[in-house]
């Protein structure tokens, strides 16, 4: 199955060695297996394919493309760990491509990545729920539907700030494809022994069950939402926000589900 749209160009045209990459910087770390390149990624991929002769050499790819949000993302002194849609900071990137232009933008880069990937390779693509189903169709076209392995759910938050008449937007997805059936696979399961359990869950509740505590704040910033405001006279640390709305934190505290340290730090 293939998608058809007005701005779609042929794979032959995409794979033409017709340009010298415009690289802002290229840093090597000891050898060619470690490289950091700054530049427009379409040109960089062609540079790797034709100037560096890395066709069929790459075993693992992870990409986190824009999500077609039609948003200008910014970063600044008050946003230390995230890139957000604030209005006053410096522009980090413009996520302005939408519809078929976005799909073609991504398709061209996926085709170049496929040519760089070895026969034993895997690719993981991080995307959101609004555009992800369209992206999967492009991945099916470029890599083949038979090479789709998993749709991995990434829980990004709790449904704390969603007051609309819909389910909370709490997840992104990661599409996992391989180039062939003969791909590298490393088992992801890890055995946990009693010592690990004791270290990870170092507290015991009234019923004798082990548990642990985690910070009430999480990476990410919001300057106008409730999770960025004070709760009990405490503001989230710089670069973070409360995991839940302060009203929910109050309820959790009433139920005894929040622990307070001797210095007044809630977990």
Residues 121-180: pLDDT tens digits?
999 999 988 888 899 999 999 999 999 999 999 887 766 555 567 777 778 899 999 999
State whether 49 and 62 are in the same domain. no
**Ramachandran region of residue 224, left (φ > 0), alpha (ψ -120 to 50) or beta?**
alpha
State whether 148 and 232 are in the same domain. no
| Per-residue burial over 182-210, b = 16 or more CB atoms within 10 Å of its CB, e = otherwise | ebeeeeeeeeeeeeeeeeeeeeeeeeeee
State whether 78 and 185 are in the same domain. yes
Residue position matching structure tokens 């996520």: 95
Residues 50-103: pLDDT tens digits?
988 999 999 999 998 886 555 655 555 555 455 555 555 555 555 556 678 888
State whether 113 and 184 are in the same domain. yes
Residue 117, domain extent? 58-189
pLDDT at residue 75 in the model: 56
Burial class (CB in 10 A: 0-12, 13-18, 19+), 261: exposed
Where a domain ends, among 160, 189, 218? 189
Number of separate domains in the chain? 3
Residues 223-237: pLDDT tens digits?
678 888 889 989 888
pLDDT at residue 102 in the model: 87
Q: How many CA atoms lie within 13 A of 91 on its CB side?
A: 6
Higher pLDDT, 107 or 223: 107
Query: Is 143:179 a contact under the CB 8 Å cutoff?
Result: yes
Does the residue 128 lie in any domain?
Answer: yes
State whether 42 and 63 are in the same domain. no
Dist. CA 1–CA 132, nearest whole Å: 17
Query: Is 228:161 a contact under the CB 8 Å cutoff?
Result: no
pTM of full prediction above 0.75 = no
State whether 107 and 158 are in the same domain. yes
Going from the C-alpha of 208 to that of each of 196, 201, 235, 260, the distances in angstroms are 17, 12, 33, 20
State whether 167 and 68 are in the same domain. yes
């Amino acid at each position: 199955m293939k998608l058809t749209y007005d701005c779609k160009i042929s794979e032959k045209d995409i794979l033409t060695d017709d340009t010298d990459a415009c690289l802002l910087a290229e840093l090597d770390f000891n050898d060619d297996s470690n490289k950091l390149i700054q530049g427009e990624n379409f040109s960089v991929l062609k540079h790797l394919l034709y100037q560096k002769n890395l066709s069929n050499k790459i075993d693992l790819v992870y990409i986190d493309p824009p999500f077609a949000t039609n948003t200008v993302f910014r970063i600044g002194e008050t946003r230390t760990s995230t890139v957000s849609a604030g209005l006053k900071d410096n522009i980090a990137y413009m996520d302005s491509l939408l519809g078929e232009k976005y799909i073609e933008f991504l398709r061209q880069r996926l085709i170049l990545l496929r040519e760089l990937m070895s026969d034993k390779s895997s690719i993981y693509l991080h995307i959101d729920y609004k555009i992800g189903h369209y992206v999967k169709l492009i991945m099916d076209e470029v890599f083949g539907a038979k090479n789709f392995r998993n749709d991995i759910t990434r829980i990004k938050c709790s449904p704390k700030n969603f007051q609309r008449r819909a389910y909370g937007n709490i997840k992104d997805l990661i599409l996992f494809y391989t180039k062939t059936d003969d791909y590298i696979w490393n088992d992801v399961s890890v055995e946990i022994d009693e010592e690990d359990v004791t270290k990870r869950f170092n507290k015991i509740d009234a019923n004798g069950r082990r548990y642990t505590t985690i910070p009430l704040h999480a990476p990410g910033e919001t300057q106008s939402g409730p999770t960025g405001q004070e709760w009990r006279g405490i503001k989230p640390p710089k670069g973070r926000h409360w995991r839940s709305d302060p009203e929910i934190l109050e309820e959790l505290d009433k139920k005894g589900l929040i622990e307070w340290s001797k210095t007044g730090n809630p977990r």
